[in-house]
């Protein structure tokens, strides 16, 4: 896909407060920064992230969505990260079904001390989304005249 050279992917990252948010904070506070286009949304546990949150983020214009939770077996709510992983896989499958790239949604697992790894995974995500190009859902929505958008929303 060809995209404008200035394309900077907008990525929403749902990060659990116990591990991934702390890792992101550590990454941001050290020299191993991650792209500023990654917007962190703190959640108590990735188990709180519903499939609809992921789809809605894409619908609202995110080019990619990342879910970042505790390491397997380390979720403070025991199985929240496992449920989140299942939801991410479900949404990846849904994206594939509708002809969108499943790689726009991804789950990672980090501990609070893994700031470097968080930054690396975030950069990888940004590179993947840059290669995929802008979210077609958002591009299509932006091209739709306002009157049609209003009609779609009322139907
Ligand atoms: Fe971190 Fe559940 S508390 S994923």
Q: What is the pLDDT of residues 99-123, one digit of tens each?
A: 999 999 999 999 999 999 999 999 9
The whole-number average pLDDT for the span 43-58 is 97
Q: What is the pLDDT of residue 31?
A: 76
Lining residues, ligand 1, CB within 6 Å: 16, 18-19, 45-47, 69-70, 75-77, 80-81
Would 69 be classed as within a structural domain?
yes
Q: Can you give the pTM of this predicted structure?
A: 0.87
Q: How far is the CA of 81 from the centre of ligand 1 (A)?
A: 6
Give the pLDDT mean for 13-22: 97
For residue 59, tell me if it sits in a domain.
yes
CA distances from residue 71 to 9, 56, 135 in whole angstroms, order as listed = 26, 25, 29
Tokens 């403070």 -> residue = 76
Q: Residue 138 belongs to what H/E stretch?
A: helix 136-143
pLDDT attached to residue 41: 97
In a domain, 47, yes or no: yes
Burial (CB count within 10 angstroms: exposed 0-12, middle 13-18, buried 19+), residue 35: middle
- Host domain of residue 55: 11-154
Task: Please state, for a pLDDT cut of 90, what percent of the chain lies above it.
Answer: 78
Surface-to-core class of residue 103, CB atoms within 10 Å of its CB (0-12 exposed, 13-18 middle, 19+ buried): middle
List the CATH number of the domain containing 99. Answer: 3.40.50
């Amino acid at each position: 896909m060809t995209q404008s050279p200035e394309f900077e992917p907008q990525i929403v990252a749902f990060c659990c407060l116990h591990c991934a948010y702390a890792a992101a904070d550590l990454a941001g506070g050290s020299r191993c920064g991650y792209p500023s286009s990654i917007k962190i949304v703190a959640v108590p546990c990735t188990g709180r992230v519903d499939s609809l949150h992921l789809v809605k983020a894409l619908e609202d214009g995110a080019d990619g969505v990342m879910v970042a939770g505790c390491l397997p077996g380390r979720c403070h709510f025991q199985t929240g990260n496992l449920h989140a992983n299942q939801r991410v896989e479900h949404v990846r499958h849904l994206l594939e079904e509708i002809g969108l790239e499943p790689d726009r949604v991804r789950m990672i697992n980090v501990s609070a001390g893994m700031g470097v790894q968080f930054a690396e995974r975030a950069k990888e995500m940004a590179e993947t989304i840059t290669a995929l190009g802008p979210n077609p859902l958002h591009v299509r929505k932006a091209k739709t005249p306002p009157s049609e958008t209003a009609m779609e929303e009322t139907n």
